[in-house]
Amino acid sequence: MANTYLPTVISLFSGCGGLDLGFEQVGYKILFANDIEKSVEETYRNNLGDIYIGDITKLDKANDIPDADVILAGIPCQPFSNAGNRGSMSDTRGTLFQHVLEIIDLKRPKVVVFENVKGFLSAKDDQGQLMPNRLEQELAKHGYDTFWKLLNASDYEVPQNRQRVFIIGIRSDLNVHFHFPSTITKNENILVGAVINRPFPIDEKMEYWPLSPQAVHLQKFIPAGGSWKNIPDEELPERLKKIRREIKKYRSPNFYRRFALNEIMGTITAAATPENSGILHPLEPRRYSVREIARFQSFPDTFKFYGESIAKKYKMIGNAVPPKLAFHVATAIFEQIFNNPDN
């Protein structure tokens, strides 16, 4: 990095630190990180540093949170996710947005970064207004110009098709028209085979969440590249038989997806259920291991995960922002804001 100045960061709703890691790799300095989930604390501390675990709404925002150049706000995605019950800003997690605005008003960072799931684009606030429009209006009131784009992680060196919305707020007095990073040509390094064939870290045991007896049975019928469509009717559980019979009522379900070696992995989810998340190993009768899904999320092998259960490790990885995607967004911000002598 030619510029020796290290932009400083406040990270809110940090999770295990995927977004923070990407920014740190560019050269940003994390001054404050927060999450309410105790389960992510050990992982974050051992890889990135200090983190405040607790309810951000209870903090003295003026005194407990330092000033910084950038605020990262990966607001919990569940109110807006297609995978759960679609909510709105009236959802308790959705109202966290208002607390972020308070922090923005107090700290006046040069840049604010929001990240969320694709469903955010069609989510509405409690007045029925689309969330992107609401967010743009609110940031404008606070003196920020807004730029947003739906990005696919596989366009940025992440071995996974994962669509996420990035909303960049830039303080209006900087007079910057932000351009999102250009996509990167895909190559064989982001295919399933390239990920699972890499040598396993010698200092780490393989951990994976065992399949249920039903999943162990059903996966026998699914070849690499296949799905529930390969399972004979007589072998399906009753619920899936009913869906297959009434398939026109559903939006192209593709249960028990098993990606082939020459495919790009589908979206890693926090639940890690073989029925819905494409987490079946293509060659072995098991889920992907903790390290394998971390690699699909683009975490380096040096990033270690801690937790009282394997399921919680899957969850924190599935909830994370892929660090390589964050790296490219962070680089674009640095080059346009912090490497600009006018700013």
pLDDT number for residue 91: 45
253: confidence class by pLDDT, cuts 50, 70, 90: confident
pLDDT number for residue 235: 96
Within the chain, where are the H helices? 18-26, 41-47, 61-64, 96-107, 131-141, 192-196, 213-218, 238-245, 274-277, 290-296, 310-319, 323-333
The separation between CA 219 and the C-alpha centre of its own chain, rounded to angstroms, equals 27
| Torsion angle (degrees, nearest 10) of CA 299, 48, 321, 279 | 40
- For 23, 104, 316, the CA distances from 166, given in Å and listed in that order, are 14, 17, 20
Tens digit of each residue's pLDDT (9 = 90 or more) over 33-72: 999 999 999 999 999 999 999 998 899 999 999 999 999 9
Q: Is 2 strand, coil or helix? A: coil
Residue 92 has pLDDT above 70, yes or no: no
183 compared with 201, residue with greater pLDDT: 183
Tens digit of each residue's pLDDT (9 = 90 or more) over 305-343: 999 899 999 999 999 999 999 999 999 999 999 987 676
Q: How many whole angstroms separate alpha carbon 267 and alpha carbon 271?
A: 11
pLDDT number for residue 83: 41
- φ, ψ of residue 145 to 5 degrees: the values are -90, 140
Percent of the chain with pLDDT over 70: 92
Tens digit of each residue's pLDDT (9 = 90 or more) over 239-248: 999 999 888 8
pLDDT number for residue 84: 40
Residue 3 has pLDDT above 80, yes or no: no
* Structural domains in the chain plus CATH codes: 8-184+321-338 (3.40.50.150), 188-319 (3.90.120)
pLDDT number for residue 76: 62
Q: How many whole angstroms separate alpha carbon 154 and alpha carbon 187?
A: 10
pLDDT number for residue 53: 97
Q: What is the mean pLDDT of residues 122-132?
A: 82
129: confidence class by pLDDT, cuts 50, 70, 90: confident
Given 77, 153, 176, 270, the catalytic residue? 77
Q: Give catalytic status of residue 16 as yes or no.
A: no
CB 73 within 8 A of CB 107: no
pLDDT number for residue 15: 95
